[in-house]
Amino acid sequence: MENNIKKLYTHYIIAGMIAFSLLVGVTGSLLCYEYFYFKYQAGRLLELQEEYRGYIVAVKKIVDDYNQLQEQAQNDQQSNEKKKITDEQKESFTIVNRDKLYLKQSMIDFFGAQEVAFNAADWRDYHEQLLEHATNTVRSNKPGKRRITSHQVTKLKSPMIDGKRDIALAWPIENAQFWLSSFFGPRKQPNGTWKFHHGVDMAALKGTSVKAAHAGMVIEAHYGSGFGKTIVILHNNKYKTRYAHLNDILVKVGQKVRQGEVIGRVGDTGIVRSTHRKGDPSHLHFEVYKFGKRVNPMYYLA
């Protein structure tokens, strides 16, 4: 009996060991299968990641090429527009002819168009003298108003020393970008009256660059009554220049500027009147002061 129990116990032990071995074998096989399966999946995931990166690079290249084409198209369009504007400016603006005879005849024609009477015999070389205020008669169209007559005629000596100017000013706007819309001297107002114009007006597109006519220091840069946005530059103890009706002021008081340096942009601020054929009043009102007195800028523009 006791031997039978021992044999049975031995059989149980052997069966347990076999079952345990089978369990260990099956578990090990499952673990190996899972290991190789996950290893394969991880490798596949890495391959998909590399493939995805390749797609991203390709898409980015396509987007960059598209943006480059768009930018090139915009640049071409802007270049065409600038060329068109330049062509229009060349057609719209007349370069000033500085020939003495031409300027002399041009001024005579201007006075004649403005119905300003003056003695042509008194006209000498353009650089020697200019009629500042001509004899004119204004008759009112309204009854009851008396006739007003002025006989004030003054002459201005040329700013020449030994055949040379004591200061030479550069044109504040490029020649091809403006036309002279009003000269220095008496000018007929819209209401029919006459008023002296103390500068020259250079009609130009709004935003056109305005440059310093001569080196100096900015003593005014603000919005002034009538002048609008205005800049005054002191060149020396004798001369200063004013730039009025600006759209933008690009300098400040106390700043030193060089001749030809951009100081502002053409506008229509302040009190202006339309002289452009399309009704655009944008222009630069340019004045020259000599010892505090406004003189004809045409004498000094090089």
Domain map (residue ranges) of the chain: 1-92, 100-299
**CA dihedral angle for residue 59, residue 65, residue 67, residue 72, rounded to 10 degrees:** -170
- The 3-state secondary structure of the chain reads CHHHHHHHHHHHHHHHHHHHHHHHHHHHHHHHHHHHHHHHHHHHHHHHHHHHHHHHHHHHHHHHHHHHHHHHHHHHHHHHHHHHHHHHHHHHCCCCCCCHHHHHHHHHHHHHHCCCCCCHHHCCCCCCCCECCCCEEECCCCCCCCCEEECCCCECCCCEECCEECCCECCCCCHHHCEEEECCEEEECCCCCEEEECCEEEECCCCCEEECCCCEEEEEEEEECCCEEEEEEECCCCEEEEEEEEEEECCCCCCEECCCCEEEEEECCCCCCCCCCCCCCCEEEEEEEECCEEECHHHCEC
Task: Give residue-wise pLDDT tens across range 194-248.
Answer: 889 999 999 999 999 999 999 999 999 999 888 999 999 999 999 999 999 999 9
pLDDT band at 145; cut points 50, 70, 90: very low
CA dist 34 and 248 (Å) reads 77
Task: Give the Cβ contact number of residue 180 at 10 Å.
Answer: 15
Looking at CATH, the fold of the domain delimited by 100-299 is given as Glucose Permease (Domain IIA) (2.70.70)
Please name which of 220, 248, 237 lies closest in space to residue 291, comparing C-alpha atoms.
237
Q: Are 174 and 213 in contact (CB under 8 A)?
A: no
Q: What is the pLDDT of residue 266?
A: 96
Q: Are 155 and 145 in contact (CB under 8 A)?
A: no
Longest dimension (CA), the chain: 165
The token duo for 167 is: 């200061």
Q: What is the pTM of this model?
A: 0.49
- The 3-state secondary structure of 135-156 reads CEEECCCCCCCCCEEECCCCEC
For the segment 95-124, the average pLDDT, to the nearest whole number, is 57
pLDDT of residue 129 exceeding 80, the answer is: no
Q: What percent of the chain has pLDDT over 70?
A: 68
Please name which of 200, 158, 199, 161 lies closest in space to residue 178, comparing C-alpha atoms.
200
CA dist 122 and 284 (Å) reads 31
CA dist 62 and 41 (Å) reads 31
pLDDT band at 60; cut points 50, 70, 90: confident
Question: Of the segments 7-11, 42-46, 107-111, 222-226, which one has the largest average pLDDT value?
Answer: 222-226
Q: Is 237 exposed, middle or buried (0-12, 13-18, 19+ CB in 10 A)?
A: exposed
Task: Give residue-wise pLDDT tens across range 168-187.
Answer: 999 999 988 998 888 998 88
pLDDT of residue 138 exceeding 80, the answer is: no
- CA-based angle 165:168:174, to the nearest 5? 145
